[in-house]
Amino acid sequence: MPDVGYSSRRGNAGRRRVDNLRKLLRRNPGTPACDGAAMCNFRFSQLPPNKLIIIKKVHCRFETSTPVVRAYLSASATQGGPTLGRYVPLAIPNTVTAQNGVYFVTIDADAQWLFGQGRFPYVEVDATNTSSTFIVDCAIRGELIDPLP
């Protein structure tokens, strides 16, 4: 089955279709703003109930007012719900410096993680303090798989 990938920019409800399959993963426009927090969750929409997906690639760009200390890919059972307890750490470059008071971080990671049916994937980014502002732009790419009968 062909790879599928979706991208969306935080704060923009517009969605970009990457291939000819129906839109599978997209940012949920109802996700609350992250400004003034120490962390930001970038949530995608629910996976279909009849398909699994292997997330192969995660690409994110973060702009924050304080240094990014951690980022990871995870999933929840409900929209906005807690993590299912598993995650894939996304490596933060060691040489991030501020430019005009803004920290720019780009992550391009191979995830190779199988997500279950009906799950809600998300990327979380954590900064050094609670007064951070965030701009998050993420894309994930993967392969849809039929579950075993």
Q: Which amino acid does the sequence have at 21?
A: L
Tens of pLDDT along 39-59? 888 888 888 899 999 999 999
Whole-structure pTM value: 0.77
CATH code, 24:
2.60.120
Q: Is there a contact between 64 and 124 (Cβ–Cβ < 8 Å)?
A: no
What is the distance between the alpha carbons of residues 64 and 47, in angstroms, rounded to a whole number? Answer: 29
Quote the number of domains for the chain: 1
d(CA 144, CA 48): 10
- Residue 43 belongs to what domain range? 3-145
Q: What is the pLDDT of residues 125-147, one digit of tens each?
A: 998 888 788 888 888 888 989 98
- The pLDDT tens digits of the residues spanning 74-116 come to 999 998 888 898 899 999 988 788 899 889 999 999 988 999 9
